Structure 1
Amino acid sequence: MRRVTVPRRAGAAAVVLALSALTLTACGSGGGAGGSASGKVEGQVTFQTWNLKANFKDYFEGLIKDFERKYPDARVKWIDQPAEGYPEKLSADAAGGTLPDVVNVSPDLAYPLAKAGLALDLEKAAGKYRGEYLDGAWKSHEMPGLPGVYAFPWYLNTGPMFYNKELFRKAGLDPDAPPTTYDQLFTDAVAMARKSGRRIAMLASTPSIEDFGRYGVRLMNTRGTEFTFNEPKGVELLGHYRELYAAGALDSQALTAQAESAGRKFEQQSVAMNPGSALDLQNFKKDAPSLYRHIGITDAANNTGKANMYVQGLMVNAQSKVKPAAVAFAHFVTDKKNQMAFAKEVTIFPSTKGSLDDPYFTKEDGTDATRVRVASAKSLTTAVNYTPVLLSDQMKTVLRNAVARAVQGKQSPKAALDGAAAECNRLLKTG
């Protein structure tokens, strides 16, 4: 099986800027521009993916042939775009009226298209299919301030948390009971730092927006017009991280560390917990056998009972001239059978109900890939996408810098988050 990194936030700002200048002919947001979504499945559907052709050409060509056999009056033209410049390509197509009929999007890329009336509202056009998908996956393409859902959920991903059982044991912690809530995480982290004389930190990274979401912080208001991560619960979370840093329970390089350096700290066994993948586990086996012998796999701590989900979707162009065929094809690609087939080609997970109960996702065979696959699949059945679709990369940097100031004690958690929320809200309004 090949491993693919699910594209996360590709930078929707470029799409927003282009669409804001358009005089749109769509009738309202999302919904019904371009004719009915019901009717005969016929005509040529243009289908655009995002950096998939190089590795999965045979899979998609077979999928298209199957669809055309099922609907002999329909044809599919497959277009694959490189990852680099994908948001800009969507922007240009949207501005030029050449947006394909079915488009591979992440939620942040779907948002500006939905807002501009270029994404079909599937609650209206294809709501009969909603029950086929995991609830969290279907809702992942809901858009702030807009009614409806604007893409079929396609493939999912998440990351397990690795932990070092031997370091837990040495700290007097139960190696078979890693922390599952943030309160347990903070308590165990301080205990580990104290027991090790501050030589071992539990974590090597400061909290991201996903941590705020898993902690139970309300990230935005219901209208999607204002960031709210500076509310008391967010301040509380950041206060805990400040305490961890002071106690030596958060690695000293966490303020500047990238994911790669955090991984090295974990491999060197100076950090007890770190997120990862099956590929990391294979590397540990080869490069750090003493660590590999003591690896445990768990979910990242959360207070909501729901893990974080990364999701890709298939959006239908609301102005498509072959809308019935486009809806039929987008549903076909994302139905249970075809998602399961794709999951056996690459390390992703289906968004369809019942798929994750398949033995492929529940039974281990002793391999590293299976260990991680089973652990991840278990958490995805109730997972949600915590990252707001409106949080740009620039906003992420604003939040990250504010968190660093607070953790170091240069600013209070409340002042840091108030300033970050104000700046993110300013950026939100100015586009």
Structure 2
Amino acid sequence: MRRHSRRTPAATAALAASALLLSACGAPDGGGDSDSAAGKVEGQVTFQTWNLKARFQKYFDGVIAEFEKKYPGTKVKWIDQPAEGYPQKLSADAAAGTLPDVVNVSPDLAYPLAKAGLALDIGAAAGKYRGEYLDGAWRSQQMPGLSGVYAFPWYLNTGPMFYNKDLFQKAGLDPAKPPTTYDRLFADALTMARKSDRRIAMLAGAPSIEDFGRYGVRLMDARGREFTFNEPKGVELLTHYRQLYAAGALDAQALTAVAESAGRKFQQQSVAMNPGSALDLENFKRDAPGLYKNIGITDAVNNTGKANMYVQGLMVNADSKVKPAAVAFAHFVTDRRHQMAFAEQVAVFPSTKGSLDDPYFTKEDGTDATRVRVAAAKSLKTAVNYTPVVLSDQMKTVLRNAVARALQGKQSPQEALDSAVAECNRLLKTG
């Protein structure tokens, strides 16, 4: 189970290659129409998840038994794949024509399959269910260049920002008013570095595509066919980060930081803000009590008013021989009742309308888990998935390298982003 997918370049290339090989026999719009899922709900449905069986077998066994009881002519065969190598497994199944009937995917994994005509257009085949899901979650299953929706939205996640109240107070910043906009973040970060003689950085990581999105940068054109993050607003963001880096307001190791190393910096109290989850709070309480007593929780900084949404979905194989049953099962797993039951077992959030208004997501009881859960659920109501589904790991590396050159002064922010956009667009066109 992943908050969001992490793919190796090789896996990305393999999945994209399969899509290209198969696109000749797939429907131009990704396959599926209103008649394709009509018919009696019967037959054996193969259902594939992504690293869920070890912890949640009892839950899924119960859902499957309930579905088979509701539809006596059905059987569900559950297959759970390990997280490692999951994209390669999808690629191999796509090439061999052995994709399961219902497949757990993130939007970036669904995209090449939809292009190849292997993902059923849920919007056409089961559009009557559209009103059951949050608007942002439903839109996250749309694919650039295609007209449909290619998976039922399933569980969501997002992360609040943790901040160190003690470090804020020592820098003369109000610990009760953490930054909520980028302009305020940049100003507070410079103050933090100056007041601490560059010993304390506000942030541990360089900006990613998600930061560009939350800053309000237009990441792609309206058709989703070209990247545009080198436009003036993107240059403006990178220019600010360059200033932070030069002033010591961005950690010295930000160019190579990953989530784990950034988390360690925050735990060591050399960084004042960092994204996290309820699990991190438990770790702080156990391993860093000095930090834990000064933890503040706030929404991730943004200029758009919308948090970032990580989303998983259930895709239906467009070539399934039991399409009516596959659609019925995918909807069954992702309906409001079952999503709510799943969310109560693990720190994820339902994508169904109204679920986030449940007291489970709105009432705090003084525990760490509810503090984070309530904050995250509130932000998810209007959250969006900022990362374009067409942004491959190779493209992410291109952007990361360009950002590093700009922060180090090897290129201007404009030159760095121009080169990154040109290379990402080249990769997008070549598949």
TM-score (norm 2): 0.96
Q: Given the alignment of the two structures, is residue 8 of structure 1 paired with residue 33 of structure 2, yes or no?
A: no
Q: Distance in 2 between matches of 1:251 and 1:414?
A: 22
Aligned residue for 1:47, secondary structure, equals strand
Show CA shifts across 1:132-167 (max 9, x none).
111111111110011011000001111111001111
Shift of 1:12: 3.6
Cα distance in structure 1, aligned partners of 2:64 and 2:257? 44
Q: CA deviation at 1:292?
A: 0.8
Deviations 1:222-247 (A, max 9, x none): 22221111111100000000111122
User: Is the aligned partner of 1:430 residue 2:421?
Assistant: no
Q: What's 1:300 paired with?
A: 300
Structure 2 residue aligned with 1:337: 337
Distance apart, 1:35 and its partner CA? 6.0
Does the CA contact (< 8 Å) of 1:26 and 1:33 recur in 2?
no
Which residues in structure 2 correspond to 1:88-237 (within 5 Å)?
Answer: 88-237=88-237
Measured on the aligned residues, the alpha-carbon RMSD in Å equals: 1.5
Give the % identical residues. 80
Report the Cα distance in structure 1 between the residues aligned to 2:88 and 2:34, rounded to whole angstroms.
Answer: 24
User: Structure 1 stretch 409-418 or stretch 16-25: which is displaced more?
Assistant: 16-25
Q: Is 369-378 or 153-162 further displaced after alignment?
A: 369-378
Q: 2:20 matched to 1:20?
A: yes
- Other structure's SS at 2:256 match: coil
Offset of residue 248 of structure 1: 1.7
Once residues 268 and 12 of structure 2 are traced to their aligned partners in structure 1, the CA distance between those partners, rounded to angstroms, is: 37
1:17 is displaced (CA, Å) by 0.5
Q: Give me the whole-angstrom Cα distance separating, in 2, the residues matched to 1:60 and 1:9.
A: 24
Aligned letter for 1:57? Q
- Provide the residue aligned with 1:56 in structure 2: 56
Aligned match of 1:409: 409
Structure 2 segments unaligned to the other structure (5+ residues): none
Give CA deviations for 1:1-29 in whole Å, capped at 9, x if unaligned.
Answer: xxx54242435432110221236433332
Distance of 1:34 and 1:52 partners within structure 2:
31
Q: What does the per-residue CA deviation read over 1:317-352, in whole Å, with 9 as the maximum and x for residues that have no partner?
A: 111121111111100000000001111111111111
Counterpart for residue 356 of structure 2:
356
Instruction: Give 5+ residue unaligned stretches, structure 1.
Output: none
CA contact (8 A) 2:242 2:407 kept: yes
> Secondary structure at the residue paired with 1:61?
helix
Shift of 1:196: 2.0
CA contact (8 A) 1:395 1:427 kept: yes
Cα distance in 1 for residues equivalent to 2:141 and 2:155: 13
What amino acid does structure 1 have at the position aligned with 2:109? L
One-letter code aligned to 1:80: D
The corresponding residue for 1:250 is 250
1:66 corresponds to which residue? 66
Q: Distance in 1 between matches of 2:152 and 2:13?
A: 22
Partner of 1:146: helix, strand, or coil? coil
Give the distance between the partners of 1:140 and 1:183, measured in 2 at CA. Answer: 28
CA contact 1:12–1:108 (8 Å) conserved in 2: no
Answering whether residue 29 of structure 2 is matched by residue 29 of structure 1, we say yes
Any idea what SS the aligned residue of 2:100 has? coil
